[in-house]
Amino acid sequence: MSEDKPRPVIAPPDMLPLVDKVTEKMGKLFDTMKMDIGTGRRTMAGTQYMLIGLEALGVYLKKALDEILDPNGRNIIMYKLGFAIGNAEAMRLKELLDLEPGPEHLIAGPIFAAHAGFVFVKFLPGSNPVPNDEYVLHYDHPGSFEAVYWKEKVGQTEEPVCHFGSGYAAGWCSKAMGIELTAIETLCEAKGDHTCRYVMVPDSRVMEYQERLDEFR
């Protein structure tokens, strides 16, 4: 990849060859995007997609859920929705792009998300994306749509709001690494923080990391 061309993810130097390899594959996949106005179908590699304003997902779906659930229930639903979609997309893209299990499959997640206009990812020091209980992923989603739209339409909050994005990332990485993972948002722009920041860890170690969140802010 040309040095003056921006990459779709900020990653450590040792991962950049893998980023460039998967970015090339992803570009070819998105070149297959087609729109047939006569049938109302937008497809990519044979799968139908729909354009949706992310404000609807980041604000109005949550407001609809607030009519039937308490805030904690709403947040769980948004997280599980994101997890399910991320998990399914990771499974589908692995076959389409012939991705190797592990780091190549994992890095395809943020690259796909950037191409899709969903999120930009910056990996941070302290990450250790290995397929066992020592897995840790520390990363930012600068300008997360959930935080930006919530702050704009609802106002500043005291708690993180990016539950869909957290779930999507955990769903994708769980499929890529073959272990069950949970993503926890430690900073959120909707709270007035400078970025949306997360730590992702194995389900079996969530309680341990809940007590160490200050290390990942």
Section 16-28 average pLDDT: 96
In a domain, 73, yes or no: yes
Enclosing H/E stretch for 210: helix 206-210
List all residues 6 or more positions away from 11 whose beta carbon is below 8 Å from its beta carbon: 19, 107, 123
> Does residue 4 have a pLDDT over 90?
no
Closest CA to 177 of 216, 127, 121, 217: 127
In which band, very low, low, confident or very high, does the pLDDT at 12 lie, cut at 50, 70 and 90? very high
In a domain, 54, yes or no: yes
> What three-state secondary structure class fits 36?
strand
Task: For the chain, give the percent of residues with pLDDT over 70.
Answer: 98
Closest CA to 93 of 24, 32, 183, 172: 172
In which band, very low, low, confident or very high, does the pLDDT at 5 lie, cut at 50, 70 and 90? confident
Count of CA atoms in the C-beta half-sphere (13 A) of 8: 23
In a domain, 102, yes or no: yes
Residue 3 vs residue 197, higher pLDDT: 197
In a domain, 156, yes or no: yes
In a domain, 4, yes or no: no
Return the exposure string of 111-137: e unless at least 16 CB atoms fall within 10 Å of the residue's CB, then b. bbbbeeebbbbebbeebebeeeeebbb
pTM score, whole prediction: 0.95
Q: Are 23 and 7 in contact (CB under 8 A)?
A: yes
> Which residues are registered as beta bridge partners of 44?
47
- Supply the range of the domain harboring residue 38: 9-216
pLDDT at residue number 135? 97
Give per-residue pLDDT as tens, 147-169: 999 999 999 999 999 999 999 99
> Does residue 136 have a pLDDT over 60?
yes
CA distances from 15 to 107, 114, 119, 189 (A): 9, 17, 19, 27
Q: Can you list the positions of beta strands (E) in 53-124? A: 121-123
What is the number of structural domains in the chain?
1
For residue 82, the tally of other CB atoms under 10 A from its CB is 24
Instruction: Look up the CATH number of the domain holding residue 141.
Output: 3.30.1380.20
Section 11-28 average pLDDT: 95
Give per-residue pLDDT as tens, 67-109: 999 999 999 999 999 999 999 999 999 999 999 999 999 999 9
Return the exposure string of 186-200: e unless at least 16 CB atoms fall within 10 Å of the residue's CB, then b. bbbbbbeeebbbbbb
In a domain, 3, yes or no: no
For residue 8, the tally of other CB atoms under 10 A from its CB is 19
In a domain, 15, yes or no: yes
31 DSSP 8-state letter: T
**How far is Cα 154 from Cα 72, in angstroms, rounded to an integer?**
17
